[in-house]
Structure 1
Amino acid sequence: MHPFGPEATSDPHPINARLREDSPAHEIPLGPNLNAWLITRYDDARRALNDPRLSKNIKDAPVRTSGGWPDDLRKAMDSHMLSADPPNHTRLRKLVSSVFTARRIADLRPDVQRISDELLDGFAGRDEVDLIGEYAFPLPLQVICELLGVPIDDRDSFRTWSNTIIASALAQGDALAAATSMNDYVRELIARKRAEPDHALLSGLISAADEGDRLSEDELTSLVFLLLLAGHETTVNLIGNGVYLLLSHPDRMAQLRAYPEQLSPAIEEFLRFESPVKTSTIRMATEPVEFDGVTVPAGAVVMISLLSANHDPAAFADPERFDPARTDNQHLAFGHGIHYCLGAPLARLEGQIAFTGLLERFPKLRAAQPLDELAWRPGALLRGLDRLPVMLH
C-alpha cells in the first residue's frame, strides 16, 4: 500500500484514506536505501507545514545528495526561499515580495486574457484537442515567460526543459542535461537584463534591495527555476484537473455555465479535491517530532501529503463529494504558514480566466475518451493528467 506506487497513480484517494485511518505518520520507501515519513492527516499536516523543527534547508539530506547533482548546479536551482529556513527565508521572501506584488499580478490580467484568447482561437475549425498539451500547459508557461521577460523565440526551450526536469524526482540522465541547459540560459538572460533592464519581474528582482542587501546570482537563477517549475507545473494541473472534474460531473459544469459567479469557490474545490501538488517538498526533522503518539526521529526526511489532508473527514464535510459550491474550504493546496505559496493569487487569476474562456466558448465540451482510461502522471510530487483529449462541439 504505497501512496506513490502504480496502484495509487490513477486513484490515490482510497489508499490515502487507509493511511489516515491507520496512523498519523508512515515511514515509506522513497528510493534505494532511503525512507521518508509521510504525514497524511489535516491537523498534523497544517502543523507540520509551519513547524520550525521540520527544516526546509535540506542540502545535506540523503534525498538531495543521492541524485548526482553537481554542487554548482544544485546551488543554482535550490538557493530560493522554498529551500530555506528563517532568517534566510525571511530575507529572501521580503526581497521577492517587494517586487512580486499584488499590483504586478493584477496588471498581468490583460496578458493572461490575451494568451488564453489566442490559444482558444487556435482551436477554430477543430473538433478534438488535447487540453493539457494545447491549453493547460502553454497558458501558464507563456504567462511566466511574460512575467520574467523571456523572449518569445525561447519559450519552446523552456517547455522542453520544464517537462524533462519535472519528470524525474532525482534528476538523472536527460533531466540533468535539461537542468544544465536551463541554468546556462537563465544566467545569460540575467546578464542581458542587467545590461538592458525592462519592466518585467526579473529586472525587478535584479534591482530589488533592502538596506543594501540584494539577491545573489544563485538566488536569482533559483527563483527563475522556482517560478518555471513550481509556478508553472502546478497551474497546468489546476486547469487540467479542474476540467477533468467538470467532465466527470456534467451537471456541475452546466451549473457553472449558468452561474459563472460561482467559479471562485469552484476553483477552490478543484484545488482541494485533486490538489495539483500531491505532497509538499521535503523537510528534514532537526529533532524528534511527535504526531499523535508517533515520533518521527531526528534526521528523518518528512513529506506532507496535501492531497490526503485535503480529503480528511475531520476537516471537510463529506470530503469524497466533489462540491464546487463548498464554502468552508480551508484546503492546503497552496501550503500553510511561512512557506505559503507566494504565487497563489497568480494561479487563481489564471484559473479564473482559463475556465471562463473554455466554458463560454465551448458549451458542448465533453471528453473524447472514457475518463477512467486517462493516464495520470506518476511521481510523489505532482497530481496531474498526461493528456486530456476533449471534443469541443
Structure 2
Amino acid sequence: MYRVLLASIITFLISSCQGNDDKKFGFTIIENKKIKLDFETNEMASNSQFKNIDGTDYLFRFRDYQSPQNPQQLEVINLTEEKVKKIIDFPMEGANAFNELVNFHVHNFDSIFFHNEAFPLTFYLTDTSKNLKQKWEIEDMEIGAGWSSNASPFLIKDKLYFCSISTQSFYPDDQDFIDYKFLSYFNLNNGKIKEISSIDYPKIFKENFKNGKWYPWSGKPYFHHYNENIFVGFNMSPEISSIRQGKAVITELEVSSKKIAEAVSIDINDFASNQLRLIGSPQLGKMVYDYYRDKLIRLYKHPIEIDENEDRSNFYYRSKFSLLFFKLNGELAAEIELPKNTFNPSIIIPTEKGLLINTDNPFNPKNHEDYLEFAHVAFDNMP
C-alpha cells in the first residue's frame, strides 16, 4: 500500500529563471514507495516498462544478455503492493533458448515479446512461465535491431514497433547509417518487417553529419507511445517526430531558455574525450507522454563541469535535472526543477496525482541498496 508520510511532506520551491519565471513550478512529495529487493534483484536493470494489468500497477525490469550479473532476467514488481512478485530467468542455452535478448515489451502476463540483436534478428513470444509460444527469425533484415533503453519495442494492434538500426556508436565515418530508417514494425500476422518512412532524423542532424560533425552517442532515439500515438525524439535536438491519429507531425519544442549541446568535429578514436563531452553536455533525455495532463514530458539534463581526472562512474546522475512539460504543439507549459543528487529520472510514471519518480540516485545519501524507491510528487498549480 502507498505510505503517506504526512510528517515529512516536503515542498521544493523552484528558483527563478530569467524569461521563464511564469513557467517554473514547485512540487510536493505526497508519499514514498519502497520495494524490498534481494541479492538477485538489486542489480541495475537494462530497461524497464510500467504496465497496469487488471487494475494493478506493475513495473517490469529486464537485464539484457550482456549484464554482468543475472543476464536475461525479468523482474515483475507489484507497485500497488510494493513487492517483487516474480523473477524470471530466460535460458540462453538449450532447446528453448532465448538468444542474446536485448529488449522486451509486456502486453500482459501471457504475452511478453523479446528481440535479440544477433543475426538473424529474432522475435520471441513468451509468458511469465517462460513458455516459448512463438519464435520468428528474420533472415532478410539488412541491419537488424538496435538496442536502446529509451527505445523499447511497443505493440499497436498486430504490429510490434522496434528500433531497427544499431544506434549506439554513430560517428561521421558511418555515412551510410544516416540514410536508414530507425523505426520499423514487425507484422505479427504475416511475419514481415516494414520501415516507417515518415519518421526520420532531425534535419540539423543530417546537415551536421554530412559535414563531418556529430554529437557523441546522439544517434539513439527516444520512443514513447500512448494508445496509437507515437513520439520520437533525440537528446541533442528539440525536434519531435510523431504519428498522431495516423498522421506524421514534426514539432519543435520551445527550449529557447535551455542550452543544448552543439555538434562538433570529433576524433572517433578519442573515446575518453567523447565520453566526457557527452556526460557534461546539456541535453534532452527521457520522453514520457502524461495523459492525465495532456503534456509531453522531456527530461532536461543541465550542463555540468567535469574534471578529466575525476571518476566518471555514475557521474551523469550528479547533474541537475529538470522536467519540461510541453503542450503537443511544442509550447513549453511548465518546468519542474528537481533537487540535485536526489532523483534517478530513468523511471518516470504519470499518475492522476502527479508523477512517480525513481529516487535511486547513486549520490543520494538516503539511498538503500536493498530497496527500489520512488517519490510520488504532486505539482503546485500546474496548468
Q: Same fold (TM over 0.5)?
A: no
Q: Which has the higher strand share?
A: 2
The interval holding the TM-score normalised by the smaller chain is under 0.3
Scaled by the length of structure 2, the TM-score of the pair is 0.26
Q: Which structure carries more relative contact order (alpha carbon 8 Å, separation 6+)?
A: 1
Scaled by the length of structure 1, the TM-score of the pair is 0.25
Q: Which has the higher helix share?
A: 1
